Amino acid sequence: MIYPNKKIEKELIVKSSTDNLAQVREFTRKAAEESGFPEETVGKIILAVDEACTNIIKHAYKYSPEGKIVISIKFDSTIFSISIIDEGIHFNPNTVPEPNIVEYYKKKKIGGLGIFLMKKLMDDVKYSTITGNKNQVILVKYLTQ
Amino acid sequence: MADFNVNLRGVGSVSVIDVNGYLDAHTAPELENVFNKLLDGKNYRVVVNFNDLKYISSAGLGVFMAYVETMRENKGDIKFSNMKESVYNIFDLLGFPILYEFYKDENEAVQKFNELGLS
């Protein structure tokens, strides 16, 4: 039971290896369950966070496993917000076109599905550059009664 | 530490891939290896049985996108069976049902290939 306006914060720092995705999902699951989301929504949040971290590993750090990924989750009775920060190559999501599955098939294109999924799964997805030339993506899901 | 297993077996002229556990960017290469093996052996009729798959991310979906056309160019296909609703919903979000056949049961999917006859 979450009391109104009582903010809970959790943080996980991992290296940019796909080996750590399972740990990231487990961390996200615990927080999302604690916030009281139904199982289906918990699943959506876990997948969105996985996609964000996978994108960072692939594009920001180009599969170098020594990069740092900081995942911070904050929630209260109304909002569940995940901030994911990296220090890799800057990523502009606006340059990623929305995928059309039939076009993908024709072109044998296999990337770019992750960001589309994140937008579908979450209520809000915001990319920005923050102090120290770091990249931040914030994923938001609202808790509705 | 991600828990994923993939197993390949033959059912007549069809290759059935059983996927088990968590299919993400870390484990997707294991599935790619199986598809490469199928191409090496010129096996183009594939059913993927999702009965024991608990989780899939876009990295896993991308594997099917990468191989399906080659299979079809060689008179084969990749068909899906025994998928949990939570996993199907992810395929559905990305529009996969337009391009792929989904079956409740593995036998139905295998049968579909057999109806086409041996080529």
Domains of chain A: 8-142 (3.30.565.10)
Residue B116 pLDDT class (50, 70, 90 cuts): confident
* pLDDT tens figures, B29-67: 999 999 999 999 999 999 999 999 999 999 999 999 999
Which residue does chain B place closest to A26, by CA atoms? B2
- Chain A hits for B58, CB-CB cut-off 8 Å, are 51, 54, 113-114, 117
Question: For residue A76, how many other CB atoms are within 10 A of its CB?
Answer: 16
Is the minimum CB–CB distance between B65 and chain A shorter than 8 Å?
Answer: yes
Judge whether B20 is closer than 8 Å to chain A, CB to CB.
Answer: no
B77-81 β-sheet, strand order = B4-11, B14-23, B45-56, B77-81, B102-103
> Is residue B86 within 8 angstroms of chain A, CB to CB?
yes
Res. A110 pLDDT band, cuts 50 70 90: low
Banded pLDDT at A144 (limits 50, 70, 90): confident
CA distance B96 to chain A (A): 7
CATH architecture of B4-115: 2-Layer Sandwich (3.30)
Interface pTM (ipTM) of the complex?
0.92
Are A45 and A28 in contact, with CB atoms under 8 Å apart? yes
pLDDT tens for residues B6-15?
999 999 999 9
